[in-house]
Amino acid sequence: MSTVTLKNVTKVFGDSVVAVDNVSLEVEDGEFMILVGPSGCGKSTTLRIIAGLETATGGDIYIGGRLVNDVLPKDRDIAMVFQNYALYPHMTAYANMAFGLKLRGVQKKEIDERVKEAAEILNIGELLDRKPRELSGGQSQRVAVGRAIVRKPKVFLFDEPLSNLDLKLRVQMRAEFSKIHNKLGATMIYVTHDQTEAMTMGDRIAVMREGGIRQLADPGALYQSPANRFVAQFIGIPPMNMIDGVIAEEGGALLFKGDSCRVTVPDGKGDLLRPFLEKKVTMGVRPEDVSVSEGKGMAEAVVDVVQPLGPQKFLYLKMGDCEYTARVPVETKARVNDTVAIVFDMEKVHFFDDATDRAIV
* Residues in touch with Mg ion (CB under 5 A): 44
The item of Mg ion, other proteins, ligand ATP, none sharing an interface with residue 64, based on CB under 5 to 8 Å by kind, is none
Least separation in angstroms between CB 331 and ligand ATP? 40
Alpha carbon distance 127, 133 (integer Å): 12
- Residue whose C-beta lies closest to Mg ion: 44
Q: How many other CB atoms are found less than 10 A from the CB of residue 43?
A: 26
User: Considering only CA atoms, which of 228, 232, 160 is closest in space to residue 198?
Assistant: 160
313-316: long-range contacts (C-beta < 8 A, 24 or more apart)?
314/238, 314/287, 315/340
When the beta carbons of 5 and 44 are compared against Mg ion, the nearer one is: 44
Question: CA gyration radius for the chain?
Answer: 25
Query: Closest approach of Cβ 191 to ligand ATP, in Å?
Result: 7
Residue 208 β-bridge partners: 213
Smaller CB separation from other proteins, 124 or 157: 157
Q: What residue 295 binds from ligand ATP, other proteins, Mg ion, none (CB within 5 to 8 A, per partner kind)?
A: none
Least distance in angstroms from the C-beta of 153 to ligand ATP: 21
- Cα(127)–Cα(234) distance, rounded to whole angstroms? 39
Give the torsion sign (CA, 257, 258, 260, 262): negative
**Of these, 79, 118, 124, 261, which contacts other proteins (CB under 8 A)?**
79
Query: Contact, 93 vs 130, CB < 8 A?
Result: yes
Nearest of 211, 232, 223 to residue 25 by alpha carbon: 211
What is the end-to-end Cα distance of the chain in Å, rounded?
A: 38
- Cis peptide bond N-terminal to 238, omega within 30: yes
**Which of these segments, 16-24, 84-92, 290-298, 322-330, binds other proteins (CB under 8 A)?**
84-92
Return the number of the residue (134 or 271) whose C-beta is nearest other proteins: 134
Give least dist CB 82 to Mg ion, A: 10
Q: Please, what is the minimum distance in Å from the beta carbon of residue 34 to ligand ATP? A: 13
Residue type, 106: V
Residues in contact with ligand ATP by the rule CB under 6 A: 13, 17, 19, 37, 39-45, 193
Examine residue 313 and tell whether it contacts other proteins (CB under 8 A): no
Smallest gap from residue 275 Cβ to ligand ATP (A)? 35
Name the residues that contact other proteins, by CB under 8 A.
Answer: 51-53, 72-74, 78-80, 82, 84, 86, 88-90, 99-100, 103-104, 131, 147, 151
